[in-house]
Amino acid sequence: MSRLGVGSAAGTKGTHYNANLGSALVRGAWTETNPGATPGGGALSWSELLRKWAKHTGGNTEVVGALRSIAAADLRRSTRDADGPDGAGDDAWRLGAWSRHPLSSPEEVKTALQGLTALSPTKLTETERRSVALTSAYALYVLADYDSALSAYGSFDWASDPTEGVVPGDAAVVERVRARAVQGMCYELASRPDTSLALQSYIEAVRLLDKLSVHPLTTPTYLQAPNTPKPPPPAADQRELMRYISTALTRAAVIAAHTSESQLTLRILRTYHAVAAGWPPTFRARQRQRMLNLYLAALFEAFPPAGATVPEPYLLTGGVANRTARATWHAEVAEAFRYGQRLLDNTTSFPEAGKLNAPVIEFANQVSMFPDHEQRLTLDAITVLWWATNLTFQSQLILRRLTCLLPTTGDYAEARRVFELYVETVLKARQAENPESTLALQRQLTIEDGELADNPNDEPIDANGHGESKDPTLYGQMDSDTDFVSTLLVGSRLLLTDLGHAKEAWRYATLAGDVVRQGSVSRKFAALVEENKGVVRLVMSGKDADRVERPKYQAQAINHLRRATMLDPSSARAFYHLAYAEASARSIQPALQAVREALELDDHSVPSWHLLALLLTASGDWEGALKACQTGVALWEADDEALAADDGDLPTVNGHGAAPPHPLLSPEGSLVPPTPARVPPSSRFRRLETVIQLRMTLNVVTEKLHGPDIALEQQQELFLFFSQRTEKGERAERRRSGTISTRVPSMRGSIRATPRGSPVPVSGLSPAEVTVQPPSPPRGSPAQKSPVTPHDYAVEDEPRRLHHKKSLLPKHLHVPSVARANSHSRSASMPSSTLRPDVVPRSRAASATSGSGAPSIAPTAVHSHYAGAGGRGPPPPPLKQVVRRSPEEERVLSDMWLMSAASFRRSGNLEQSLVAIEEAETRDPENPAVWAQLGLWNCAAGKAEDAQAAFTKSLLLRPDYPPGAVGVARLHVEAGAVDLAHSLLSQLVQDRGWDVPEAWFALAKVCERQDRHARARECLLYALQLECTRTCRALPDALPRWSE
């Protein structure tokens, strides 16, 4: 129901004309020829409308006429906006720099003001006197007499009813809103500006919206309950209200953004955009675009810390969120993205040739930063970036942002396409700008391209380490050298790690090096380029090099990584990669020195502790390796507990707090560069894989020191931990209840994790302070029932592939096991229930109670024979519970079963070893390590024919798989096919088996059988050298070449 009161209106016509005039005042129809209509629908000019209104209501036409003249003059002084000055001009956001254009002809306003002054107060009603006072103050503002206007506003009775005026109802409320907004502008423009009082006036103007009969603000969807129907927009035209509310909110946001009142700033911006949702698409486009940029900047800074409470009220006009702070923030950001797209679709168009759509590019740039805070916004950001490509022409910034975001979604092919287009676009633009530029992507590369070249960045560029004197403008045609190099590094890593194209990765890494030499970037970026080249060259040494090129590639990789550490001595990651490269080249002592440097720089790096442990095993310090593993696990657990609450939006003590508030606008009025988001943690699976691989190494070390029985106990704990961590839908509850622990019992004492900032002295693990164990325990050691033979290499040699090859043999080799008797119907994709604490399949129960007395491998304390649970009755049948795991998780689980199989086999428990191999095959049947392990089992069981089939299967899955080739070669030798074995091994040691001691040892035996004793001696010596520098697990299996 309309609140346009009839006041003194008499009869139906008075009500009609009162409503007509009120509507004209609310929509600001100052320049309309016919703002009203008769009851019959006939058009009425301003003069006729006022005359009829006065005739039927007795209203004062002089006040309304003066208001019309003043408002029309105020609108005319804006040369760019038909709705008058919007407070968002080029200089309007500078601190203290806002000003208004003077009137070109102020006579009309002066005449109106004189007419208002001449009115006799005794002939006016109380409501008319209030309207005269506000209209007179408005005229003084338009005439730029801001101090006098403030005096007039200062004497006004603001406590009076805002719905009462010369025209009552909504028109009176709009009059009061305009007065508050103008008062705020006067405070800003007066001879003694007072922004705090201006801000207060603007906020008071917004609070008057509640007095309107039709509220212009609809509740944002992020504050509504799910599935709430969207309310229709206001049907009434409220353009005059929109003008002053938009100006009041804009100026209030600008004032607040120059302070550290971040919550108030964001509350103002939320209110602005909630009101703007009902505006016409093109209303004050420039203002809305700038306010959108400020809104996104405020949202980015307002990412709530874990456990934060939702601020109330959410808007200036109220509003309460019904979700957590994180969830509300996420929903608000997504809605802001959609709003921005609608706005820019309606207010911008595809640019002319040679130009760019600056508002769209800036919007896309801001949107692309939000996934740094919340990875779930990645797809939303990518959607916006693709949309932006339709509104501008080959923006380097948009292509760069897409290149960085697409790989995080797993769309590697599309990411590569965009990356190559980006590089082509940048190179063409640079060539057009500088025809003498020699930058180009090389097509043919030689081994000499990996040699170090002189680099101007070996010397400091400036005191702060910044190479560029100034960045190009955001809307420029050219990305800066820093942006170009950083994107080349992203693309190089994409090609190397995600697509497996090392040679292609090297081309782009070389181009990045050329940009560094010819351009101007910081030492840190130059170090990143050298680090990238070192890692790429290291991968090429193992994948694309022959026996002649391999040493050169390795030397080049080490040289690039050493230069990276010199350019940036504070980079723990560079030292980690250097240690990895040295270890790959079997330079154990330099590798130990480099990894210790990495740990001194970042003592919470679990991969560095893992690498240290592996290197200590290569140097024979098994006790030190044990302590390094235990330290890494303890640190991982401490860091994971800190991330747990952050993952689940729960309170945390050690979590990341909100950054201290700071102004969003600089004194010059531009957006302050955003606070960098904290480096997002690796994905949940990557973090889990890190500790799983470390604990697998720990179990290998434990078996070496204390025998397979103790190692198998720890392996059972690892199974339980993995099972709990990978069951979907229960992770939040487990973290809340704290039922998961990764703590590893210490065999000889443990190293406690220290808080970040209290580094663990790496020198404490030096051989001088730790008892050195011999490489192998004495034969009579009761802790190890059978010695480790060279065959045992087969379990852990192969880095996992993301794409399976098609097998040439049947999927299963029908492993002859009692465990298979009742399991034919189980799908290979269905995880076995042996990982569940309460269920053991009947086949396992049969195995456990068979005549052989073989214990069950069920990895729980309840069914563990190590816990004294020997003779038990048959367990209940399996429950119908499906545990969904990703393919990556299944691969890790398969590796864990293979490790258990090897331990069981070495302990003489062949039946349980076969059970574990079956479980590994179920999870990952196309893993060549499964079949190599099965071949070793058959060899131990004396089944040469079955061993031949298993080893052959591993080679069919991967022809250059060293354990499979070594196994087949040994069987060839036993069968007398010495020449065939020699052919197989000769090719292997020149290719992927160049650093496999078993391959060289087997080749030596073959050469002896061929009476080639000199060659046999060479092979034995090389095998001995490799064995003396061998880690307990192959580096590619245990650790990634490229650390996060």
Low-confidence ranges of the chain (pLDDT < 50): 1-9, 455-475, 649-657, 729-874, 880
Buried b (16+ CB within 10 A) or exposed e, 675-705: eebeeebeeebebbbbbbbbbbbbbbbbbbb
- The answer to whether the CB of 1028 falls within 8 A of the CB of 1022 is no
Q: What is the pLDDT of residue 10?
A: 53
Rounded to an integer, what distance in angstroms lies between the CA atom of residue 911 and that of residue 978?
A: 32
Reported as type and span, the H/E element at residue 847 is helix 842-848
Q: Give start and end residues of each alpha helix (H) in 439-548.
A: 481-493, 502-518, 523-543
pLDDT digits (tens, 9 = 90+) for 474-523: 445 688 999 999 999 999 999 999 999 999 999 999 999 999 998 888 99
Distances in whole angstroms, Cα of residue 1043 to Cα of each of 426, 553, 558, 573, 681: 28, 20, 16, 7, 13
Three-state DSSP class for 671?
Answer: strand
Rounded to an integer, what distance in angstroms lies between the CA atom of residue 46 and that of residue 37?
A: 10
DSSP character for 1034? Answer: -
Contacts 24+ apart (CB under 8 A), 105-111: 105/73, 106/73, 106/142, 106/143, 108/69, 108/73, 109/69, 109/70, 109/73, 109/139, 109/142, 109/143, 110/143, 111/69
Locate the DSSP E strands across 21-152. 36-37, 43-44
Tell me the CATH class for 11-227+235-301: mainly alpha
Q: What is the pLDDT of residue 235?
A: 56
> Would you call the peptide bond into 790 cis, given omega within 30 degrees of 0 as the criterion?
no
Rounded to an integer, what distance in angstroms lies between the CA atom of residue 301 and that of residue 319?
A: 21
Q: List, in sequence order, every residue forming a beta bridge with 37; answer none if it has no partner.
A: 43
Average pLDDT, the chain: 81
Q: List, in sequence order, every residue forming a beta bridge with 665; answer none if it has no partner.
A: 671
Count Cβ atoms below 10 Å from residue 780 Cβ, excluding itself.
Answer: 6
Rounded to an integer, what distance in angstroms lies between the CA atom of residue 748 and that of residue 742?
A: 18
- The answer to whether the CB of 603 falls within 8 A of the CB of 759 is yes
Q: Is 755 exposed, middle or buried (0-12, 13-18, 19+ CB in 10 A)?
A: exposed
What is the per-residue DSSP string for 408-432?
Answer: GGT-HHHHHHHHHHHHHHHHHHHHH
Rounded to an integer, what distance in angstroms lies between the CA atom of residue 140 and that of residue 147?
A: 9
Residues 6+ positions from 496 with CB-CB distance below 8 Å:
502, 505, 535, 536, 539, 1042
Amino acid occupying residue 263: Q
What is the per-residue DSSP string for 938-992?
Answer: HHHTT-HHHHHHHHHHHHHH-TT-HHHHHHHHHHHHHTT-HHHHHHHHHHHHHTT
Rounded to an integer, what distance in angstroms lies between the CA atom of residue 217 and that of residue 1030?
A: 70
862, 826, 828, 866: which is closest to 842 by C-alpha?
826
